[in-house]
Amino acid sequence: MNADLGVYGTYIAIAAMAAATYPMRVGGYWLMAHVPLTPRVRRILEALPGAVIVATVLPILAREGAPAAIGIAAALISTLIRRNDFVALIAGVAAAAVARYAGLG
Amino acid sequence: MNPQSSEKPYWSRDGLLLGARLALPVAPGFIAFGLAVGATAASKGFSFAAMFLMNLFVYAGASQMVAMEIWPAKMTLAGVVSLALIAATVNARMLLMGASLRTWLGPLPWWQTYPIQHLVTDPGWLIAMRYRAEGGNDFAMFFANCVALCLIWMSATTAGYLLGSLVTNPRAIGLDLVMPIFFAVMLIPLWRAGGGKRRAIGWLVAGGVAFAVQYLVGGWWFIMAGAVAGALAEGFADEC
């Protein structure tokens, strides 16, 4: 399991990710022809995107400290004022950069 | 589900144009996300070929963002397995999208629907569902819409990668934080769509478990553990 896969390692990993993703795209479609999804399974799958984001972002936030917190806060405030993903992204990255430049974190 | 669900979808040339046109309203958000994914790939040191192939064959930005964050410097079989598990976990939400597409596309033969479903995305699925709810039944719209969104994605990620490559020190201008910043912003529509006590419980569990696993286990398993725990908690929380 721990042998270095060398120069093709990146491509092997990309192929594995692709092989894991396509069944998710067609799996529900295929399954519906055989058994309907229960409301419980539906709710769990609906809950997944938010749970993925919280579980990914919170520990990174804790690790990266003030610049990450300031960047995320700026992007959230920008989105609450007016929903524009470009503006939010630029505001967030810029705020984080300024925070680092100011010596925070 | 739908009163017209047994009616077989048809193909028309006008549908191709409509599909491309319906992609335009979501293009700005899709481009912003694509730029972020491309720039992240550049800041993490991916080659252009690897970035391009990942976008074409995985074609699921959120899972790519997480994967690039945990990408090991030396790829081992264990690394390949954990990246595949991350992709499966982050993309499991697509099972629902496919299940609801069945109610529309079910009457079509498999060779028409299975290949194009590789290009199903969150915005593309929303467009298809809205179109169908309004009475549309042109499969060419769906096909062209998926292809148009993919072309937009490949252009945006390429542009993001090229822009990101110009930056010699991504950390200095905050580019290494693109992923957490973009992800955090996505929480707002997710809260607006389904916010409430159950969702709050799910997010608290996701965050708590992720923290605990990061502290106790280390590595990157906290993402998987937190995501699965949070989704189960929200799914099993009693109706509030």
CB pairs under 8 A between A and B: 314
Residue ranges of B 29-88 with Cβ closer than 8 A to chain A: 29, 31-33, 35-36, 46-47, 50, 53-54, 57-60, 62-64, 66-67, 69, 71, 74-81, 83-88
Give the least confident one: A91-100, B91-100, B171-180, B198-207: B171-180
Half-sphere exposure (CA, 13 Å, Cβ side) for B125?
21
Considering only CB atoms, which chain B residues are within 8 Å of A57? 180, 183-184
Report DSSP letters for B179-218, one per residue.
HHHHHHHHHHHHHHHH-SHHHHHHHHHHHHHHHHHHHHT-
pLDDT at B175: 84
- Same domain membership, residue A27 and residue A61: no
- Same domain membership, residue A102 and residue A72: yes
Q: Which residue of A has its CA nearest to B202?
A: A51
Looking at the complex, report in whole angstroms how far the Cα of residue A24 sits from the nearest Cα belonging to chain B. 5
B164 burial (CB, 10 Å; 0-12 / 13-18 / 19+) is: buried
Non-local CB neighbours of A75 within 8 Å, separated by 6+ positions: A88, A89, A91, A92, A95, B181, B182, B184, B185
ipTM over 0.90 threshold = no
Report the domain count for chain A. 2
Give the least confident one: A48-57, B108-117, B173-182: B173-182
pLDDT at B240: 55
pLDDT tens for each residue of A30-66 = 998 888 778 898 899 889 889 989 999 999 899 899 9
Domain boundaries, chain B: 13-186, 195-240
pLDDT at B5: 47
Band of pLDDT at residue B1, cut at 50, 70 and 90: very low
Nearest to A85 among B33, B77, B227 (CB): B33
- Same domain membership, residue A64 and residue A21: no
- Same domain membership, residue A91 and residue A48: yes
Non-local CB neighbours of A99 within 8 Å, separated by 6+ positions: A66, A67, A70, A71, A105
Spatial contact of B173 and B181, defined as CB atoms under 8 Å apart: no
The runs of H, that is alpha helices, within A1-105 are 9-32, 39-64, 66-81, 85-101
- Same domain membership, residue A3 and residue A43: no
Non-local CB neighbours of B111 within 8 Å, separated by 6+ positions: none
Nearest to A55 among B79, B179, B222 (CB): B222
pLDDT at A33: 87
pLDDT tens for each residue of A81-95 = 998 888 998 999 999
- Same domain membership, residue A44 and residue A85: yes
Q: A16 lies in which domain range?
A: 1-36
- Same domain membership, residue A49 and residue A95: yes
Say if B1 is an interface residue toward chain A (CB within 8 Å): no
Whether the pLDDT of residue B75 is over 70: the answer is: yes
Whether the pLDDT of residue B2 is over 70: the answer is: no
- Same domain membership, residue A32 and residue A53: no
Band of pLDDT at residue B239, cut at 50, 70 and 90: low
pLDDT at B63: 95
Average per-residue pLDDT for chain A: 91
Does B184 sit within 8 Å of A72, measured CB to CB? yes
- Same domain membership, residue A43 and residue A26: no
The runs of H, that is alpha helices, within chain B are 13-23, 27-43, 48-57, 61-70, 77-91, 94-105, 110-113, 122-133, 139-166, 178-194, 197-216, 221-236
Dist. CA B158–CA B119, nearest whole Å = 18
pLDDT tens for each residue of B20-68 = 999 998 898 899 999 999 999 999 999 999 999 999 999 999 999 999 9
- Same domain membership, residue A81 and residue A51: yes
Does A40 sit within 8 Å of B88, measured CB to CB? no
pLDDT at B59: 98
Of the candidates A16, A50, A105, which has an alpha carbon nearest to the alpha carbon of residue B176?
A: A105
Report the amino acid identity of residue B171: R
